[in-house]
Amino acid sequence: MTVLVFLASLCGAMAIGMPVAFTLMVCGIALMAFLGIYDSQIVAQKILDGADSFVLLAIPFFLLAGELMNAGGLSRRIVNFAIAFLGHRHGGLGYVAIIAAVIMASLSGSAAADTAALAAVLIPMMRQAGYSVPTSAGLIAAGGVIAPVIPPSIGFVIFGVAANVSIPRLFVAGIVPGLLMGLSLVAAWWWVARRSTFQTIPKQTWSQRGSAFLDGIWALAMPVFVLGSIRFGWATPTEAAVVAAVYALLVGLFVYRELKLSMLYGVFLAAAKMTAIIMFLVSAAQISSWLITQANIPGELSAVLQPLMDNKTLLLLVIMLVVLVVGTALDFAPTVLILTPVLMPIIRQAGIDPVYFGVLFIMNNAIGLLTPPVGIVLNVVCGVARVPMTAVIRGVMPFLLAQTAVMLLLIFVPELVTVPYRYFMGLR
């Protein structure tokens, strides 16, 4: 009955158009009333507890780093660097979009910000070169969702806090899966573009490539500072986020000189707005998360899934299918915040590595950013490219299927995640 109350309150509040954060609070209050433990002071306290975390400070600083990168010219130089080496190939701008997406994913961790930056630079160039705009927009959107998987990832920060899992380990574990997502896009783009006719950019000389590298070296060096500081224990994820934001600020102001003091207010405001949205969601989710535990919903779900507990692969397939379906209706952060407290007790009971599961879970939610009707990244690329949603949905399908295939591969071959992260973390 508690599961029914949970689902009815959650779906009912969403059905009448209530914002997700308030939906999570209503869901928690409904469970409290059903269990006979309603207390307004508990509601207020849990909201405060949800945001009272040092680790969560990484979110505003990574978001700020992404905004500073875009405003300070770092993102554009990453694209120019990729164009210098790949732009002359058949379908070269598509490969540029993929390489640039992977590099930018290692800088900001925000799918929407990376997608908007790439689309603004590359869509006009691809349109002029005769590329199909819906397909190009679909490719850039698919490249954008690599950001929550390759560290530093805001998604890993949220999941790590909600599931009490090591964020540095999640960061390291996400590197190989994120690169595999990029390789899957390369294969899918080759398949899509092989029979198409494009205008190609003249091949650049090694001198020009060297100039592009030197011009972009400050942007390309940023992930080395951020990930290196985390890997070698010089900084926590939160401190690394501060390093990323300060680095992007200084490079934009004093090296590239494209970031002006007059622009800082708008940059900080945009980052603050996005931070407020995410942090309010995290705070509101703390109520429902606590009530989920009190109501023993994970125990009830575990009893339903008990026949699958001895088969980890089948259990993961079922869970990932559920997450994929939920991801079509909910945005990234709400899905993570709602499902994490429900699924983690089952994962631990089944003996599945929480870090490995976290990578699959975040990858699945990232793919959900490409699925209608919510599909935040799809909406972003539609707005920048000025093409209808229906056209972009058709354009993104080959790339969506390619990334889903990577997720299935990781389910059947978990060593692709566990072996590299254990090696790099010095674990046996």
Domain boundaries defined on the chain: 54-424
Give the per-residue pLDDT at 329: 66
Judged against a pLDDT cut of 60, whether residue 390 lies above it is answered with: yes
Q: What is the mean pLDDT of residues 87-99?
A: 85
Tokens of 95: 């490969």
Predicted structure pTM score: 0.84
Report pLDDT for 21: 76
Name the residue type at position 180: L
Q: What percent of the chain has pLDDT over 90?
A: 18
pLDDT band at 33 (very low <50, low <70, confident <90, very high): confident
Q: Is the pLDDT of residue 56 over 90?
A: no
Which DSSP category does 350 fall into?
Answer: T
Q: Does residue 129 carry a pLDDT above 60?
A: yes
Query: CA 395 to CA 389: how far, in whole Å?
Result: 10
pLDDT category at 176 given cuts 50, 70, 90 is very high
Across the range 387-409, mean pLDDT stands at: 91
SS (H, E, C) 287-344: HHHHHHHHCCHHHHHHHHHHHHCCCHHHHHHHHHHHHHHHHCCCCHHHHHHHHHHHHH
Is the pLDDT score of 57 beyond 90? no
The first and second tokens of residue 344, run together, are 């983690």
pLDDT at 426: 67
Write down the pLDDT at residue 427.
65
More confident residue, 171 or 90: 171
- With 0-12 / 13-18 / 19 or more C-beta atoms within 10 angstroms meaning exposed / middle / buried, residue 199 is exposed
Helix axes 415-424, 175-193, angle to 10 degrees: 130
pLDDT value at 52 more than 90: no
Q: Quote the distance between the C-alpha of residue 127 and its chain's center.
A: 27
Pick the most confident of 25-39, 267-281, 400-414. 400-414
Numbers of helices and strands, H then E, in the chain: 22, 0
Average pLDDT over all residues of the chain = 84
pLDDT band for 309, please (50, 70, 90 cuts).
confident
C-alpha distance across the termini of the chain, in Å: 43
Mean pLDDT of 45-56: 76
Take residue 299 and report the two structure tokens written for it.
Answer: 């125990």
CB proximity list for 219: less than 8 A, separation 6 or greater: 69, 74, 75, 77, 78, 81, 107, 251
DSSP 65-84: HHHHHHHHTHHHHHHHHHHH
Measured CA distances, 283 to 50, 70, 158, 287, 302 (Å): 4, 28, 11, 8, 26
Residue 1: pLDDT band (50, 70, 90) is low
Determine the distance from the C-alpha atom of residue 206 to the mean position of all C-alpha atoms in its chain, rounded to a whole number: 35
For range 262-284, the mean pLDDT: 85
